[in-house]
Structure 1
Amino acid sequence: MAYRPFLALTLAAAGLSTALALIPPAVAADAAPAPLPASFGHYQPAEPYDGISTHTFYLPMRDGVKLAVRVERPMKAGKVVEEKLPVVWHHTLSVSQEDRDGTGERVSTFRQVSKLVPYGYVVVQVARRGNGQSLGERRGYHDRNEAQDAYDITQWLAAQPWSDGKVGIYGCSNTGDAAMHALTMRPPALKAAFAGCFSWQKYDAFRRGGIFAQWGTGPTRTIADDLAIPPVETDPDKVLLKQAAEEHQRSTPLFELWKSLPFRDSFAPLVASRFWAEGSAGNYADQIRRSGVALYIMGGWFDELRDQGLITHLNVPGSRVIIGPWKHCNNDGFALLEEMHRFFDQHLKGIDTGIVREPAIHYYTVNADPKTAWRATDTWPLAATRPQTLALSGTMLGGKSTAKPRSFPARYDAKCPEAGSGSTVQPCHFAGSGASFTGAALKADTEVTGNAIANLWVASSGKDANVFAYLEDVAPDGTVTVVTEGRLRASLRKTATAPWKMPAGVPWHPSNGEDAMPLTPGEPVALSFDMLPTSWLFKAGHRIQITVTGSDHRERARDIDPAPAITLYGDEAHPSAVTLPVIPAGA
């Protein structure tokens, strides 16, 4: 695509004044999104088998701990097929796939992978130690015990008489992390992994910006909860299930574990390790790359882990990404199972599905024409990006940075109606909380795809502050929708070069204990942080809004007490601004 003048697409022309506008070099000729392949979301080969045989049992691990296993094999004319077939398995929280297992609502594809069995796959569920029907204790959620189990299980599956020796793994949320940790062990039989909504770096995912404002701290279940799930076939009297339920009570409380780790290098006495490092798949990036395992990453624009998948893609050459307009582990309106099937057929059965010749990333632009909302690209961030920097001035976006400081309290009483629950919880605009800056009505549709960057000058009445920034879409009727958000604990504002690849222009904070820089009350400091990536079309007539607050309804275990008053600056000496990744029309 040849470069075209950008005059019609500046935010000024669309109805927003722009300050400090950044205009990068011309876009390369191949920067336009590629057309979607006909097979994308439409892969339906013949179904050679007509039934499913299910068997559940216990499999002892190297240390004697028994893990629950569910094996589903294809049948034909009422008989189990004896043919050796590829295996796909799920390192999950129960072999009965309970609602609390974290892979999305029942509509989620990750609950429906058994539908691949009639197409010539063996599908296996294995409950992780300390969870579901499995015995043992959960030490830390994706620790190296679980990773070693994944290696042993993968190789065991490859050696079974019904297996052809080729194994794939899948999972989403906690089971997506488990799939990634299987890659870190490099089991020779593992050939493909389909992982969704997982963390590349646990600290950045669950202490994002150094703030504990996350829903995901894993399961906490009583003995009665565990006894209510179905036992495996070889334990009809629930003898081992009762033992498992009792052993689970000795597991590490994940909320307490994560609350006790405020810094990236915090040591956890509960598990005797610096657990953010131990439990992060990205800390074993070299092993993942050397594994040679084909990796397909799934995410959603309404999931808090969407940046983690894109960062993983940047660090694992050859990996693929799909990001839709979805909440955590959901895929509403898209045949994700068919895409998963196409991927496994390519890498486990050697069928040329065309997937390896397609662009690496498929993403959906929210509010775009449904006929063209799905786009494809090989580059992230998009080469067509035209960053536009918007000054936070007075009550309006744009103009000169001459505004008086805006002060507001951290509203710990702010609630978010209809924000979702559990893993689908969403941020929201709480009227009267923080400071909002609103642009004029847009004269043309304006696409924002990528990470917005907040550069703010703030002061606190205390020695620290949690600062949140939201990119919002204001409809003509005044309805405010949060498009994306970012956050940073002010004392952890130090930036550095990340030890792994990050999207261009995205700040990274080391956040170790030695990096903490408490504030001097009343003295302004500069904060730079990104908002989670998005792809959103602001429609003509809507307004772009930036809101900055000192609290968020998702915060847990607040430890800044009393709630501080925060001052946001916007004068020439302290120019607060947000830079948006704007995509020109037609790019």
Structure 2
Amino acid sequence: MRSVFLAGAMLLAGAGAVVGGVAGAQAPATLAPAAAASSFGHYQPPKTYTSQIKQSFYVRMRDGTRLAVTVARPAVDGKPVEGRFPVIWHHTLSATQEAADGTGPRAAGFRSIPGLTDYGYVVVQVARRGNGQSFGTMRGYHERNEDADAYEMIDWLADQPWSNGIVGQYGCSNTGDAAVHAMTGGNPHLKAVFAGCFSWNKYDAMRRGGIFAQWGTGPTRSIEQDMAITPIEGDENKALLRKAAEEHQRATPLFELWKSLPYRDSWAPSVQSNFWAEGSASSYAQQMRRSGTALYVVGGWRDELRDQGLITFLNIPGTHILIGDWLHCQNDGFGLVEEAHRFFDRHLKGIDTGIDRDAPIHYFTVGTGEWRSATQWPLPQAAQTIFNITPKGLETGVAKPAPFKTSFPVDYTITCPEGGSGSTVQPCHLAGKGLSLSGKPLTAPVEVTGHGLADVWISAETPDANLFLLLEDVAPDGNIKVVTEGRLKASLRKLDKAPWALPGLPWHRAYAEDEQLLKPGEPVRLQFDLMPTSYVWAKGHKIQFTFTGSDHRERARNGNAQPAAITLISNAAHPSSVSLPIVKP
């Protein structure tokens, strides 16, 4: 394994971005016949190579910051294959694929994409500035310095002797965000991005409904954690790793940054930016569309960011999207690498893999065991069905439901033992916590595919309140499963027109000037969406909604939004309901 580690003022391998065309660069060829069967999730052409060779080193950016890079190349007999190949890269948290980098040790998932060297690709890991073995300080989360680094790195990758100038990128979670942000620069070498579980708009993802109740706040590591990772070749004594780790500590902690930004237009003195806007891909939608870069989105029905991928699909024409019954960045039972390979072969090698003839949406319907496809979202066959809130529970088709008014206490000490930890944290039903309303046992299976919509009236004795809504499946034996969720901070209930396409959802601008505090006992109308799902309730089961005023994932609660109780109201003047997109049989 050859080391190209260079330090100090010595020249770094390939340093200095080349702007414009590169010698030997090639556009994807006219579509050639596929080398093997090319069905969805089962693309497996024969391997061209059976081994790879890696080398790690630093590349110096425009401002002198050194980024750590690991290059994996196809090899034969322990030597890298000569020639130029398409390059796939990962703008990640370390150059050595550590377990804490965001994609985790998931078999056959994003972590396995470096194995595509067997099919004639060079695969590169780049630690983002302020992370892993790289130098620099992370300023926020997906800030424009990172995006400039991505543009420069793509130029560098296109200009290497083992590159044909055609570049793809992949990532999931924080690295999925990084991959989508790379599109905003419009680098002509970047032809395709395969990204999972990322945010379209940072505020809507991280402060959903105006409430800080997420399972994570991005990468934050101590010096000891940084020092535990594998150093770049030539730095076995970790002297440079130590210097890099010390630079990382100058970053603003992401928890503190996000806590300081309660409104969509909040200014962050720590990074001198309206950071929700700076760090959101949605702010650069026009640049993404102009880039011409092909995009494939991966999501999961049990991931907190599942709506973000579908919104991206609506705003970036030509996008493909895949959603399974998965948690964050998981792909249990599905050939994710095969699908990424099929996508990259089409856009980086010009091979007809059949993907252009596929419907752009593939989704798994929980309760059927089936993958389904669609050409548009929301599904035209999914009609919103209104469930009125009444003293008898949930009722559909009722012209004038009976008046309803019930207060429920709010418990701020709850935990969710079955909710898991880390990226698997989910909401859970806790008996006696909140207010549960269910319908009658179903006489036939019911499929809900899409976004539920809540339109409810509440009151409280405090200036604010956080309302959480769980959509649940109640089995005949009383077992309750949370299917999806929605939430809204009452003071940020004002509706506005979204600056991007949405699938028929209410949108809250949530600027500081939009705040409308509650008056004791006065009803206010809250309209918000539930995150999307595709789920079938079996015959004999019940559809249930549970309203609560707290969530075990809440962090840095606002004292104004901590009422002892919340009152849910439904009458002729204040009709409360929740609608679900029920698919016709």
Per the normalisation by structure 1, the TM-score is 0.91
Cα deviation digits, residues 457-515 of structure 1 (max 9, x gap): 000110100001111000111111110000000000001110000002x1000000110
Q: 2:349 and 2:401 mapped to 1: Cα distance? A: 60
User: Aligned residue for 1:11?
Assistant: none
Q: Where in structure 1 do 4 or more consecutive aligned residues deviate above 3 Å?
A: 561-564
Contact 1:99 1:106 (C-alpha < 8 Å) held by counterparts? no
User: Aligned residue for 1:45?
Assistant: 45
Aligned letter for 1:80?
A: P
Contact 1:103 1:173 (C-alpha < 8 Å) held by counterparts? yes
Q: 2:507 and 2:106 mapped to 1: Cα distance? A: 36
Aligned letter for 1:380?
A: W
Secondary structure of the structure 1 residue equivalent to 2:418 = coil
Contact 2:66 2:134 (C-alpha < 8 Å) held by counterparts? yes
**CA shift for structure 1 position 106:** 3.0
Secondary structure of the structure 1 residue equivalent to 2:539 = coil
User: Aligned residue for 2:378?
Assistant: 381
Secondary structure of the structure 2 residue equivalent to 1:101 = coil
User: Aligned residue for 1:327?
Assistant: 327
Aligned letter for 2:110?
A: F
Superposition pairs of residues 225-236 of structure 1, within 5 angstroms: 225-236=225-236
Cα deviation digits, residues 33-55 of structure 1 (max 9, x gap): xxxx9711111001011111010
Aligned letter for 2:202?
A: K
User: Aligned residue for 2:474?
Assistant: 474
- Larger mean Cα displacement after TM superposition, 101-110 or 60-69: 101-110
Are 2:266 and 1:278 equivalent residues in the alignment? no
Where structure 1 has 5 or more consecutive residues not aligned to the other structure, the ranges are 1-36
Q: 1:95 and 1:124 mapped to 2: Cα distance? A: 8
**CA shift for structure 1 position 537:** 0.5
User: Aligned residue for 1:543?
Assistant: 542
- Larger mean Cα displacement after TM superposition, 299-308 or 423-432: 423-432
Aligned letter for 2:378?
A: P
Aligned letter for 2:554?
A: E
Cα deviation digits, residues 81-137 of structure 1 (max 9, x gap): 012000000000011222221124433611111111111000000000110111110
User: Aligned residue for 2:142?
Assistant: 142
Q: 1:512 and 1:262 mapped to 2: Cα distance? A: 9
CA RMSD, Structure 1 to Structure 2 (Å): 1.2
Aligned letter for 2:143?
A: D
Superposition pairs of residues 39-118 of structure 1, within 5 angstroms: 39-107=39-107, 109-118=109-118
- Larger mean Cα displacement after TM superposition, 554-563 or 481-490: 554-563
Contact 1:394 1:437 (C-alpha < 8 Å) held by counterparts? no
Q: 1:220 and 1:131 mapped to 2: Cα distance? A: 9
Q: 1:56 and 1:79 mapped to 2: Cα distance? A: 15
Superposition pairs of residues 407-556 of structure 1, within 5 angstroms: 407-504=407-504, 506-556=505-555
Secondary structure of the structure 2 residue equivalent to 1:99 = coil
Cα deviation digits, residues 389-437 of structure 1 (max 9, x gap): 0011125111553243110122111111121211121111111111111
Q: 1:83 and 1:47 mapped to 2: Cα distance? A: 17
**CA shift for structure 1 position 62:** 0.6
Q: 1:469 and 1:401 mapped to 2: Cα distance? A: 21
Q: 1:88 and 1:535 mapped to 2: Cα distance? A: 32
Secondary structure of the structure 2 residue equivalent to 1:346 = helix
Q: 2:412 and 2:418 mapped to 1: Cα distance? A: 18
Superposition pairs of residues 9-408 of structure 1, within 5 angstroms: 39-107=39-107, 109-368=109-368, 370=369, 373-398=370-395, 400-408=400-408
Secondary structure of the structure 2 residue equivalent to 1:362 = strand
Are 2:563 and 1:557 equivalent residues in the alignment? no
- Larger mean Cα displacement after TM superposition, 410-419 or 199-208: 410-419
Contact 2:50 2:75 (C-alpha < 8 Å) held by counterparts? yes
Q: 2:334 and 2:544 mapped to 1: Cα distance? A: 30
Q: 2:401 and 2:71 mapped to 1: Cα distance? A: 64
Secondary structure of the structure 1 residue equivalent to 2:325 = strand
Contact 1:465 1:564 (C-alpha < 8 Å) held by counterparts? no
- Larger mean Cα displacement after TM superposition, 432-441 or 279-288: 432-441
Cα deviation digits, residues 425-451 of structure 1 (max 9, x gap): 111111111111111111101000000
Q: 1:114 and 1:527 mapped to 2: Cα distance? A: 47
Contact 1:395 1:436 (C-alpha < 8 Å) held by counterparts? no
Aligned letter for 1:402?
A: A
Contact 2:222 2:249 (C-alpha < 8 Å) held by counterparts? yes
Q: 2:401 and 2:89 mapped to 1: Cα distance? A: 56
Aligned letter for 1:62?
A: R
Per the normalisation by structure 2, the TM-score is 0.92
Aligned letter for 2:578?
A: V
Contact 1:411 1:563 (C-alpha < 8 Å) held by counterparts? no
Aligned letter for 1:519?
A: L
Superposition pairs of residues 571-586 of structure 1, within 5 angstroms: 571-585=571-585
Aligned letter for 1:276?
A: W
Identity %: 61
Where structure 2 has 5 or more consecutive residues not aligned to the other structure, the ranges are 1-36
Q: 2:124 and 2:565 mapped to 1: Cα distance? A: 53
Report how many aligned residue pairs link the two structures. 545
Contact 2:223 2:246 (C-alpha < 8 Å) held by counterparts? yes
Contact 1:328 1:423 (C-alpha < 8 Å) held by counterparts? yes
